[in-house]
């Protein structure tokens, strides 16, 4: 039986260094557990980086399928944020969020670092299923790359207005695709990016090229939910 999730939710945010301890405690002691307890959420992973005087975070959740994004269990949680979440939402900067079906995946396991690239799929020539799978297969074959996945954003599901969204001061960035390269170390992720920027993604206008290191992971099994 294939139990791999068919969709992902990807989230970026920055915080000031002085707020990091409380933010990390919120993530690891409440928020990710709360999310993987939602029907259809299978796991959550947190990645961290430092840049321009900020602490940068990339969080991705594996979902059973894209319908979870607008499902009653998730929306109920988004419309009833905990006191700790209410305190945290306003401090998030450069916030971006998108979820949808994984349209192509290759490789095995999880990497120690993640390179998430927000894409215009049309500009990248990635609207065709064959092109999508060919790209992730090629990247997964590069040295020290563990897995690669490409997600197409479900704008309707991601864009539902909720109480939690209204509490964030940062305007959400918009994008229609996410390519995530998971590698064994930063040099491998950077080498893969360099190749892509001179080949398939040369005209894709990739702006944010931050490599993140893994710092926390929780799935339903580890949380005692299965």
Query: Which of 29-38, 152-161, 172-181, 184-193 bottoms out in mean pLDDT, i.e. has the lowest?
Result: 172-181
Confidence category of residue 173, pLDDT binned at 50, 70, 90:
low
Specify the higher pLDDT residue, 18 or 158.
Answer: 18
DSSP E strand boundaries for the chain: 7-15, 41-51, 54-63, 93-107, 113-119, 145-152, 177-183, 212-219
Transcribe 87-103 into DSSP letters: HHGGG-EEEEEEEEEEE
For the chain, the residue count is 226
pLDDT at 1: 39
The Cα–Cα gap between 111 and 53 comes to 25
Distance CA 42, CA 115 (A): 21
Quick one: CA dihedral 46, 116, 88, 101, positive or negative? Answer: negative
36-53 pLDDT per residue, tens:
999 999 999 999 999 989
pLDDT of residue 171: 67
pLDDT of residue 129: 97
106-159 pLDDT, tens per residue? 999 999 999 999 999 999 999 999 999 999 999 999 999 999 999 999 999 988
| pLDDT score of 202 more than 70 | yes
Mean pLDDT of 55-72: 97
Would you state the pLDDT for residue 204? 85
How far apart CA 220 and CA 58 sit, in angstroms, is 20
Question: Cβ distance 218 to 32 under 8 Å?
Answer: yes
User: How is residue 89 written in tokens?
Assistant: 């939402």
Averaged confidence pLDDT in the chain: 94
């Amino acid at each position: 039986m294939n139990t791999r999730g068919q969709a992902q939710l990807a989230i970026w945010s920055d915080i000031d260094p002085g707020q990091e301890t409380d933010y990390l405690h919120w993530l690891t002691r409440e928020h990710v557990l709360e999310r993987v307890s939602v029907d259809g959420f299978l796991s959550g992973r947190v990645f961290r980086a430092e840049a321009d005087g900020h602490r940068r975070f990339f969080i991705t959740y594996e979902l059973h399928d894209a319908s979870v994004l607008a499902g009653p269990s998730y929306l109920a949680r988004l419309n009833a944020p905990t006191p700790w979440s209410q305190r945290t939402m306003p401090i998030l900067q450069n916030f971006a969020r998108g979820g949808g079906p994984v349209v192509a995946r290759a490789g095995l396991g999880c990497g120690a670092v993640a390179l998430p690239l927000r894409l215009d799929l049309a500009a990248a020539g990635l609207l065709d299923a064959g092109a999508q799978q060919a790209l992730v297969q090629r990247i997964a074959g590069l040295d020290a790359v563990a897995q690669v996945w490409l997600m197409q954003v479900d704008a309707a599901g991601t864009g539902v207005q909720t109480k939690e969204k209204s509490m964030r001061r940062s305007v959400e960035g918009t994008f229609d695709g996410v390519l995530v390269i998971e590698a064994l170390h930063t040099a491998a992720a950077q080498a893969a990016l360099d190749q892509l920027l001179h080949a398939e993604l040369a005209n894709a206008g990739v702006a944010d090229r931050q490599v993140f290191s893994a710092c926390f992971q929780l799935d339903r099994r580890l949380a005692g939910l299965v």
